Each structure stands twice: as structure tokens, then as C-alpha cells.
Structure 1
């Protein structure tokens, strides 16, 4: 892994894009192009309205989570600013390679506002990690209790294996002096947040709302694609697919999500093609749902241009 970290950021970003496209091409080679087209055809006005509404709920909860985390680091953040910034962040993450440009941008803007770029970056990173941890724990809590007779049991076994690998990885890191030092350093940085139970509860609750809204969007995509399955079963499969979408090898979320959706739907007896169709519809709906972020971005550009014009007019001739 050392050679990967030694690569330039641009080269790593390019490698992630190539890998994501390779996964997409491989998935298409297995299931064909028809499921992708079926997913596109499943998108309709009512699904777009539902996705936009659910995205607004998820964005509001995520912005609240970021606000709580930022406040814990001593960086006050107004609710309206957090909401608009999070929409911008999601839009940039969706349309630009890497999937983190939006997070970098909101950390930079907040850091310049308080003249603490380091703490702002830490708050954004901690907020994203907190959301992923809650998602992982909740996914395992729902999947692992599935009985052996359940058609979704293979997904539970796979989830358990992944959880064991994660725990083993953390244990290996903790066994080395450098790893223990890094973990201790991270704990010291997060202590202002970890020592406040109410803040932790608010962050956890917000993360649950975010995951629930994204899961509901996936269920909407599944129903629109005509998948004959109980919505509860679709929600369980959605948890696996959403976890795959967090893998940092994608282009706007596309890549591993489609491959994992095909495998998860096949294991659940719903068909790999149906998984790709639902994932495609979900991907399109998520792109449309974060469109308000483009409006917020244009508004920022307009206000910045206006401020520069006012400064120019005030300068003495």
C-alpha cells in the first residue's frame, strides 16, 4: 500500500476513476446494457419528487450533524450556512471526480472564516467518519440477526465477514507503536466531542435519519423499477448497496455500487439485472436530488462577484 500513498493526488484520483469505470464495464459485460436502460426508464416525475424531498431531509440531518461536530471543535456554524454548504458539498462530490471535492470546499470555506483550516478539516472528516460508523453499526445490527432460512441470509454472512475484517484491521494497527500513537492522537483530537453525551446522541440520531432517507430513496427506485419484493427486503438490500457506494473507488457514486447491487440482488433471489436497474435508477435520482447544490453554488458566485464589484467601485480613482 505504500506505493499507492506515494502516488500524486492527481494520479490517485485518475486511478480511482479508471477502477470505477472498469467495474462498471465489467458489470455491464455480465448483465448486459438492458438493466441500465431499464433503470433510466424507471425514473419518472413522482420518483424525482420523492427523491428531492428525501434528499432535503437527509441534507438537513447531515448539516445538523456537521454543525454539532463543528461546534464541538470550537467552530460555531450557523444552521442556514451549514445547510447551504452541505448541499453545495453533495453536488460537487457528485459531479467531480474523487467524491471529496465538496467536503474539501466546505472545510476550506469554514476554515478561512475562523482562520483555523486545521480544525475545520478535522470537523468535516470527523463528521463524515461518524456518519459512516453509524451506518456500519446499524447495517450490521439489522443484517446479522437474519435467520439461516431467510433469503437474505447470505448478505448477513458477508456483512459479518466484512465486520470481522474491519475489527482485525484496527487490531493490527493498534498492535504497532506507530498505530497506537496515531489512534491516541485521533482520540485526543476528538475528545471535545466524545466527552459530550448529548452531542454524540445528536450526531448518532442525525446519522440514522440520513441513512433512513437514502434507504427510502433506494426503495423508491426499486418500486419504480418494478422489482417484485417486499419493501422491507428492499430496504435491507439497500443497506448493503449504500455501504458499497461509500467505497472510495467511484465516479459520482457509480462503480462498486452497481456491481454490489447486482451481487446482492442475485443472492437475495431477485436477479442481478434487477439490482443493476434499481442501482441505476437510484444513481440518477441522487444526481437530480442534489441539484439545489448547483443553485447554492451559483448564488455564492453571484454574491462574490457582487462584492468584488462593490470593492472596485469604492477604490479611489
Structure 2
């Protein structure tokens, strides 16, 4: 009895674990995993550190600070839209700068307002692909534009972390040579495999993608603008972080804040956030604490930075409403125009009245025969004045047997 009960208990536990794993591997769980992770990180930080310093930093945000955030946002957004237009031109897609700025502002607002932090870029890629008539190139232009920003953050951020005092300076110096050697070895292996393998469909697609990346980012007429815009955009984000630190009450120097800002910006790229909030606050708390500036101060600076970034993206809400409202009015106008209007002077009864069948009368004279032959019948008059059984062919309605 005992031996038979144990396998049954093990089977129940195994089926329970399989059910849990299947639930975790479902599409809904993968979709909301980032949002849940961001909420958990924020809740743990606020439970651990309290809300006193956080609320104090938010109270210090005044009108000049908001105007400065808006100005920085205008500069970085226009430069980002210009970089996007350059990449699109390299892929032979026409993208005017004005439309690029409006679409970029809308994407920034959606990134800040919706969970995940990337839904605005997804919307921008799909809409650009639809308007350009080439979904693949439209999406790839947005992806390459974002890749350019991440490459600039990696290169400049790596240089800052390797040359300036930071909590990860010693660890970075120890691990950087090993990471570099591993990357070179992996690249050599990939090149050797590609040289010894016959060209395949996947290989041709990869080469086509690399060719488009080279044309969009590294062509002779594009790479200067892409490099300059990427550097200035990153400088604008770092300036926003320093402004947030000053608003939150941090007295650290700019040289001490730059490595911490780089770490916070890297954490923002993780898809485990709610409008950017989550990993950024966790990394900022650890980095500020390791630098001796206080973990609570790091959370306050990161939250103020998130609020200022949201304010800088608010013009995207204006773009969203400005493009949504005319479409809504056009849709309502089309629906009103499509609704049938009754003809003037005609009364449409709700139901077709049943007319009694009158007996056939025999005419007594030829005149009476002619008037009976050419005069409209009573049933035809009733059919021509009743909806929807009208006997007038010009109205496109079916003719009743009585009207023939």
C-alpha cells in the first residue's frame, strides 16, 4: 500500500510542476514578466529604504527644472529623429525630418507611459513600415537607429567606466581583457565556420542584413551624422541625470556622477521595467551605495530622472491627440454620410399594410377598357409608396408581384 501510494504522490507533484512551468512559459506570462519584475524591484526598494528621501526629491522639482527637462528633451529628440532619418535614407526610404520628430515624440511618450519601455518603438517601426510601403525596411530602420544609440552607450560608457573612478572600476579592469579575448575567439570561430560552410538561405539573409546595416550606419554620407548625433544624444541623457541629482539634493561632483549615470542608463535598457522604472532604481541604489553616496539618494535621483524624462516626452501626447482626433472625426463623418436619408416628402410606414384582393371587374365600354389598361393599379401605388418594397427601379429596390 505504501509503495503504491508513493508513486502516485510523485506523479501528482510532477504534474503540478509541469502545470506551473507551462503557465510560466505561456505567452501572457512572457508578456507581463517585465512589468511584474519592475513592480517587484520598486516595491522591494521602497520597502527597504522608505519613501522619505524619494518624496523629498520629488517636492524639489520646480518650474525651472521642468523647463530645463523640456529643453533637453527637445534637443535629444530632434537629434534622435535626425539620426533615424539618416538611417532611413541609407535604406532608400524617404523620411522627412518633421514627420520623424513627431513620430519619435509619440514613441517616447508611449515608451514612458506603457509597460515594457519598448512599445512606442514597436509602434513607430510598424507605422513607418506601413507608410513607407515596405514593412521590412521600415522596421529595420528603427532597429538600426536604436542599435546606433546602444553602440554609442557601450563605447562611451565603457570608456567612462574604465577611466573614471566608479564602483565597478576594479572589476571592469579585471574582466575586460577576458571578455575581449572571449569575443575575439568567438568571432574567429564564427568566421571559420562561415568560410567552410556552403551558402545557405539563412546565411544569405544574414549577409543582406549586414549590408543594410553598413549602408544605413557606416556609409560615407551617413556615418558622420550618426556618430555626432549619437554622442550628443548620450550627452543630453547624462546632463538630465546630473540635473536630477542636483534636484534630489546630491552634492557629488559631475565626475563622480558620470559613471553612476552610465550604469543607470545601461539598466534602463533592460526590458524589466514599468515605463523605465525598476532596474534603473535598483542599479542606482547599489551604485550610489558603493560610491559612498547613500542607496536612498540613488533611488531618489533615479526616480527624479524618470519624472523629468516623462515630462520631456509629454509633447508626444500632443502629437498622439493631434493625429487621433482628426481620424476620429473623419470616421464619424464617414459613418454619418453612409447612413441612408429618407427622400423629402415621402412617408415610410413601419410595415407594409396588407391590401385586400379586389375581384376582377368586367369593363362595359372600350373607353373604360383603355382607362383600366393604362391607369396605375392601386397595388402598384401602394408598393411605390412603401419601404422597402418600392416599385421604382431607379431606387434599386425589388419589385413586388402586385406591381408588375
TM-score of the alignment, normalized to the shorter chain, above 0.5: yes
Other-structure match for 2:116? 98
Other-structure match for 2:256? 233
Distance 1:19 1:96 in 2: 15
Question: Contact 2:148 / 2:217 at 8 angstroms: preserved in 1?
Answer: no
Other-structure match for 1:15? 33
Larger displacement relative to structure 2 (285-294 or 301-310): 301-310
* Gaps in structure 2 of 5+ consecutive residues: 1-20, 195-201, 341-404
Distance 1:163 1:26 in 2: 35
Question: Contact 1:155 / 1:267 at 8 angstroms: preserved in 2?
Answer: no
Question: Contact 1:69 / 1:127 at 8 angstroms: preserved in 2?
Answer: yes
CA RMSD between the two structures: 2.8
Q: How does 1:140-219 map to 2 (within 5 A)?
A: 140-146=158-164, 152-159=165-172, 161=175, 168=182, 172=186, 175=189, 181=203, 184=207, 186-219=209-242
Give 1:272 deviation, angstroms. 0.9
Give 1:135 deviation, angstroms. 0.9
Other-structure match for 2:369? none
Question: Contact 2:144 / 2:217 at 8 angstroms: preserved in 1?
Answer: no
Q: Which has the higher contact order (CA 8 A, sep 6+)?
A: 1
Query: Cα gap change, 1:231/1:11 in structure 2, threshold over 3 Å: closer, same or farther?
Result: same
Greater per-residue helix proportion: 1
Give 1:37 deviation, angstroms. 1.7
Give 1:132 deviation, angstroms. 0.7
Query: Cα gap change, 1:256/1:173 in structure 2, threshold over 3 Å: closer, same or farther?
Result: farther
Distance 1:264 1:163 in 2: 23
* 1:51 maps to which of 59, 69, 93: 69
What's the TM-score once normalised by structure 2's chain length? 0.69
Number of residue pairs matched by the alignment: 308
Query: Cα gap change, 1:19/1:164 in structure 2, threshold over 3 Å: closer, same or farther?
Result: farther
Distance 1:157 1:264 in 2: 14
Encode CA deviations 1:229-283: one digit per residue, 9 max, x unaligned: 1123223321211111111111100011001111111122211111111111111
Other-structure match for 1:29? 47
* Gaps in structure 1 of 5+ consecutive residues: 147-151
* 2:302 maps to which of 273, 279, 285: 279
Distance 2:234 2:321 in 1: 28
Aligned to 1:197, what secondary structure does the other structure show?
coil
Question: Contact 1:39 / 1:278 at 8 angstroms: preserved in 2?
Answer: yes
Query: Cα gap change, 1:117/1:254 in structure 2, threshold over 3 Å: closer, same or farther?
Result: same
Aligned to 1:144, what secondary structure does the other structure show?
helix
